[in-house]
Amino acid sequence: MKRTKLLSVAAACLLFTTIYSCKNNETESVAENKADISTSTLEKVKSLGFSTENIRKIDGGYLVEGDILLTEANLSEAASGASLNIAETEQYRTTNVVRSLPRVITVSVTNLPQVYSDAVNTMISRYNSLGLRITFQRAAAGTTGNINVVGFNEAPSGGFITLGSAGFPTSSGNPYNQIRMNTNAAAYGANPNLLYLASVIQHEVGHCIGFRHTDYMNRAFSCGASGAGNEGASNVGAVLIPGTPSSPDAASFMLACSNGGNRTFNSNDVVALNYIY
């Protein structure tokens, strides 16, 4: 993976979860950001099983492992649920999932260019084609949906560019309510590709409804040596989804790092989604 130009990196490899970030060897700014986070907070993040490497404080909480937003509520919750075998590469969900099924989840887009709205429509079509007990639809005009897709503009910093981020379902069984997408030209270029955006939003919705990274136990599988490491089970859980493979699954929409292009559900993703929903 080339690391000489951030735009080339952003086009080639996208760090998912619920945010994507791509990096080169510059780490000073990230290190400075981590220094501004209290020791007690870092210990809480570690106790949940998440890596504190490249942790960042952002609006709403702390960004870990590229695109996962941990809120203050997440940090204060006690560990619960199963923590299963992390030596294999299978599909995993969090302890909290969306409840009160069947259920319609509304999605809105706030103050973003039309291509983001079109990408949300593509994402909705992809999920709804699966016949799940959760379905997605656009929120009524002028209203905020159960999940609101919003923009932020953040230039590369310390060799990183954030593409998008989201959190996990609440303990009350509601989906996480926001996906943040970076509108800086260094993230998606001056003319963002529709299917690329749809794939990122699709991945972030996966986090909103309770999916962890398929390769959370060894990010090197999709991220290469620079992404090596075990994200940890965490208090949000890492519950094996029966029927998913025990070997690397190269095409999963929930891999920690993407191929930088269009990636939708593979057959194992469909098994996992149908098992839960």
**CATH number, domain at 14?**
3.40.390.10
- Residue 231 inside a domain? The answer is yes
Give the distance between the most distant pair of CA atoms in the chain. Answer: 48
Quick: pLDDT tens for 178-231: 999 999 999 999 999 999 999 999 999 999 998 877 765 565 666 775 544 444
Residues whose CB falls within 8 Å of the CB of residue 273, separated by 6 or more in sequence, listed in order: 130, 132, 265
Average pLDDT for 114-123: 98
3-class DSSP state of 242: coil
Alpha helices (runs of H) in the chain, residue ranges in sequence order: 6-12, 28-35, 39-47, 72-76, 114-128, 185-188, 194-208, 220-223, 267-276
- Residue 162 inside a domain? The answer is yes
pTM as predicted = 0.76
Residue 205 half-sphere exposure toward CB, CA atoms < 13 A: 33
Number of independent structural domains in the chain: 1
- Residue 272 inside a domain? The answer is yes
- Residue 1 inside a domain? The answer is no
Domain of 219 in residue numbering reads as 6-276
How much of the chain, in percent, has pLDDT values that exceed 90?
Answer: 36
Strand partners, 138: 107
- Residue 81 inside a domain? The answer is yes
- Residue 194 inside a domain? The answer is yes
CA separation for the pair 156, 154 (Å, rounded): 7
- Residue 51 inside a domain? The answer is yes
- Residue 54 inside a domain? The answer is yes
